[in-house]
Amino acid sequence: MERMITRASAVPQVGDVLELTVGEVMHGGWCVCRENDTGWVVLVRHALPGERILARISQSTARFARADAVQILVPSPDRVAPPCPYAGPGACGGCDWQHASLPAQRQLKAAVIAQQLRRLAGINLDVPVEAVPGDDGGLRWRTTVSFAVGGRGITGLRRHRSHQVIEVSECLIAHPLVTAAGITGRRWPGWEQIEVAVAPAAGERGILLSGRARLGPQDLAALPADSVQAAGRGGARTPMRGRGYLIQRAAGRDWRVSLGGFWQVHVGAAEVLAAAVLAALEPLPGQTALDLYCGAGLFAGILAQAVGQTGRVIAIEADAAAFRDARHNLRDWPWARPHHGDVAEVLGRTWLGEASIAVLDPPRTGLARPVVDLLCARPDRARPAAAAQSGAAGPSFLHRIAYVSCDPATLARDLRLLLDGGWRLDDVRAFDAFPMTHHVECLAALSRETGARR
Ligand SMILES: C[S@@+](CC[C@H](N)C(=O)[O-])C[C@H]1O[C@@H](n2cnc3c(N)ncnc32)[C@H](O)[C@@H]1O
């Protein structure tokens, strides 16, 4: 039975219901409620700033509680009816902002970016969140979806902060080609996860199955996919049908991307980010460019075309399949060379004195500290005669960075370190590459002057 908490001294227990006024949004899709009379901090989902709500406690610690808004007493003008029936307290954890209008979602993300930049980097900057073309009012954009398989083989998506599988008939943010694979609404006993990835321009679909079950010839024949693979322990893959990769299209070219490899999930994001990286770096013929965390080599490829055959591109990627994709995708530009390995380790043994520009696109955890240190190192090593005679335009030391990030908190942390290391922040752009969720993609442009010293 629910317990309504009204006394200031009572510590909220899981299941208790509190009446709260919702405060500012924070990183991760939560809003903060600070009750003056109690001193508690309650992090609430399914609410919007300014609302008066009833919230049910889902977790309670000595320092704070988490809660779900279960009744909206005074709604925000930004509140809308969630298009997805699985969004809400206790339901699917995939989307955070289905109950906010699309413009309001972008304002919430902009508020989080400004907050993280201010708190973690000491930077006061308002960054509007730009729409990414290709979605349908924030729906039907996701080209890769990992469906979870629960008890008795039901398929769906995981409940928020839980392993429990919520059975769904359709995920509304999934691209229609994903939905047409028909993974949901069927039983998949013995499987744990089924990842569907699609390449809309090529009309291709791939399925990556994880689990202990076996696919019989009839099951395989019934799977509507060009490529099917089974994922084993330690990342081993068993090809079951097709080439094992999809052909994605962006920046006027095709890119091979292996199943399970990284490609921007929003149908329009690779195109938008490729243009934004070029705009931030302004590459010139003859320059040497770095693409750190290069995935299938999208940015390395567009930089290779811009610097031309008198230039060089050094691309680094740790994942073996993505590295092989990058090697394949960059084959038309022999002056673009992918390296396989950890960025810190490869950079540590690569002579960087010639590199002029760099794009960094690390995973959510951001840059490892040795990578920051290398990027901040003094550009004081002698320029070899060959480089001096190459006719490279512009300064021949690392003087421009485009930092692409899917996490405003680690971006802000790393920006502070880069600014302390002699870099200057010129611009930050943000893109709504994950509508309906709290996630957002940012691109920070940094530069440093000739003679910059640490
Ligand atoms: C966010 S993705 C960027 C991919 C690419 N820039 C793109 O836009 O398609 C990050 C990539 O970094 C790779 N990665 C993660 N940690 C790494 C590390 N320590 N060293 C090298 N690559 C790493 C991942 O395998 C992944 O391909």
Q: What is the pLDDT of residues 336-383, one digit of tens each?
A: 999 999 999 999 888 777 899 999 999 999 999 999 999 998 665 434
Task: Quote the ligand 1 centre to 316 CA distance (angstroms).
Answer: 8
What is d(CA 316, CA 341) in angstroms, rounded to the nearest whole number? 7
Token readout for 14 is 């899981």
C-alpha closest to that of 240 among 172, 173, 194, 185 = 194
Helices (H), 261-365: 269-281, 298-307, 320-329, 343-348
Helices (H), 97-161: 102-121
CB of residue 303 inside a 6 A radius of ligand 1: no
Q: What is the pLDDT of residues 79-94, one digit of tens each?
A: 999 999 999 999 999 9
What is d(CA 451, CA 201) in angstroms, rounded to the nearest whole number? 46
Would you call 217 helix, strand, or coil by DSSP? helix
**Which CATH number fits the domain 4-79, given the four candidates 3.30.465.10, 3.40.50.300, 2.40.50.140, 3.30.1300.10?**
2.40.50.140
Q: Which helix (H) or strand (E) holds 177?
A: helix 176-179
- For CA atoms 55, 57, 62, 63, the dihedral sign is negative
Domain 4-79 matches domain 266-447 at the CATH topology level: no
What is d(CA 105, CA 33) in angstroms, rounded to the nearest whole number? 19
CB of residue 19 inside a 6 A radius of ligand 1: no
Token readout for 202 is 């090529």
What pLDDT does residue 388 have? 44
Angle at which helices 408-420 and 369-376 cross, to 10°: 40
Q: Which helix (H) or strand (E) holds 429?
A: strand 424-432
Is pLDDT of 384 > 50? Answer: no
CB of residue 263 inside a 6 A radius of ligand 1: yes
The neighbouring-strand residues paired with 146 are: 195
Would you call 85 helix, strand, or coil by DSSP? coil
Q: What is the pLDDT of residues 159-203, one digit of tens each?
A: 998 999 999 999 999 999 999 999 998 899 889 999 999 999 999
- Rounded mean pLDDT of the chain? 91
Residue 387 confidence class, pLDDT cut points 50, 70, 90: very low
Smallest CA separation from ligand 1 atom 4, residue? 295
Task: Quote the ligand 1 centre to 318 CA distance (angstroms).
Answer: 7
CB of residue 235 inside a 6 A radius of ligand 1: no
Q: What ranges do the domains of the chain cover?
A: 4-79, 144-247, 266-447
- Sheet bearing 424-432, strands edge to edge: 129-131, 424-432, 441-447, 400-405, 355-360, 288-292, 312-317, 336-340
User: CA end-to-end span of the chain, whole Å?
Assistant: 62
CB of residue 363 inside a 6 A radius of ligand 1: yes
Would you call 427 helix, strand, or coil by DSSP? strand
- Ligand 1: which atom is nearest the Cα of residue 299? 6
Supply the Cα-derived Rg of the chain in whole angstroms: 24
Task: Quote the ligand 1 centre to 292 CA distance (angstroms).
Answer: 7
Is pLDDT of 233 > 80? Answer: no
Task: Quote the ligand 1 centre to 363 CA distance (angstroms).
Answer: 6
Q: Calculate the CA 129 to chain-centre distance.
A: 15
What is d(CA 361, CA 368) in angstroms, rounded to the nearest whole number? 12
Pairing of strands 441-447, 424-432: antiparallel
- Residue 406 bears catalytic tag: yes
CB of residue 313 inside a 6 A radius of ligand 1: no
The neighbouring-strand residues paired with 131 are: 432
**Which CATH number fits the domain 144-247, given the four candidates 2.40.50.1070, 3.40.1190.20, 3.90.230.10, 3.10.310.10?**
2.40.50.1070
DSSP 8-state symbol, 356: E
Q: Structurally, what CATH architecture does the domain formed by 266-447 represent? A: 3-Layer(aba) Sandwich (3.40)
CB of residue 255 inside a 6 A radius of ligand 1: no
C-alpha closest to that of 208 among 226, 179, 185, 230 = 230
Q: Which residue bears the tokens 């809308």?
A: 80
What pLDDT does residue 3 have? 58
Smallest CA separation from ligand 1 atom 18, residue? 342
What pLDDT does residue 271 have? 98
Smallest CA separation from ligand 1 atom 27, residue? 295
Q: Which of 143, 254, 255, 262 to mutate to test the pocket of ligand 1 (most atoms within 8 A of CB)?
A: 262
What pLDDT does residue 222 have? 86
